[in-house]
A and B are shown apart, each in its own frame.
Chain A
Amino acid sequence: EAQVTQNPRYLITVTGKKLTVTCSQNMNHEYMSWYRQDPGLGLRQIYYSMNVEVTDKGDVPEGYKVSRKEKRNFPLILESPSPNQTSLYFCASTGSPNEKLFFGSGTQLSVL
């Protein structure tokens, strides 16, 4: 089954404690991206990757890092989380600009 898998689904942490949210896709997609969804703000892009070792900033990259060492994986790293990063995070992938974006099920992050 074609899917984008994120882990964990829920995460509660404290300010300053480094964390990683994993994302993996099994569709051999070159393009992957991370979004955050906040009430009243919709979906905003954090980072994206066009291929292995190729990443770039989206609209709200501050406080986040990503890496793309393998085609299937695109982890999101928060090296020093802060409460304003409490949000619902989605990973997405697609095979080309003309194909639809597939989303993962989301990771609800709470930073205390």
Chain B
Amino acid sequence: DQQVKQNSPSLSVQEGRISILNCDYTNSMFDYFLWYKKYPAEGPTFLISISSIKDKNEDGRFTVFLNKSAKHLSLHIVPSQPGDSAVYFCAATYSGAGSYQLTFGKGTKLSVIP
């Protein structure tokens, strides 16, 4: 049973437009969510996170929204740039476990077209 789901394997967006990457989770115990970004031939790197006590967190062009009732989160990138082309992994965990016990989604490959 997949507890963190990224249902879109890929997404293409024009440069300058908004990219929206979606993630759903099934485990109600999860209360902390992260996005990792991965370029080819590199390991994943942390991008942005959100705690369940918030419904939005911003960091520059990146914003993560959390809808707890729907068990859904999304990553918005505005404006999208070609350098944002990468695979994005959604991850979830719960209080106390933190980075020690991350459950990852399958990833969404974002392509930003110049």
A residues near B (Cβ < 8 Å) are 4, 31, 35, 40-45, 48, 50, 90, 92, 94, 96-101, 103-106
Contact = CB atoms under 8 A, between A and B. Distances in A.
A55 to B, nearest CB: 13
A43 B104 CA distance: 6
Given A41-B106, A42-B104, A96-B98, A101 B46 contact: yes
* A interface secondary structure, majority: strand
B13 interface: no
Nearest to A98: B98
Given A43-B89, A90-B44, A48 B99 contact: no
B41 A105 contact: yes
Given A105-B41, A106-B41, A106-B42, A97 B100 contact: yes
Contacts of B49: 100
Interface residues of B, number: 21
Contacts of B99: 31, 94, 96-101
A111 B107 CA distance: 24
B60 interface: no
Interface in B1-22: 6, 9
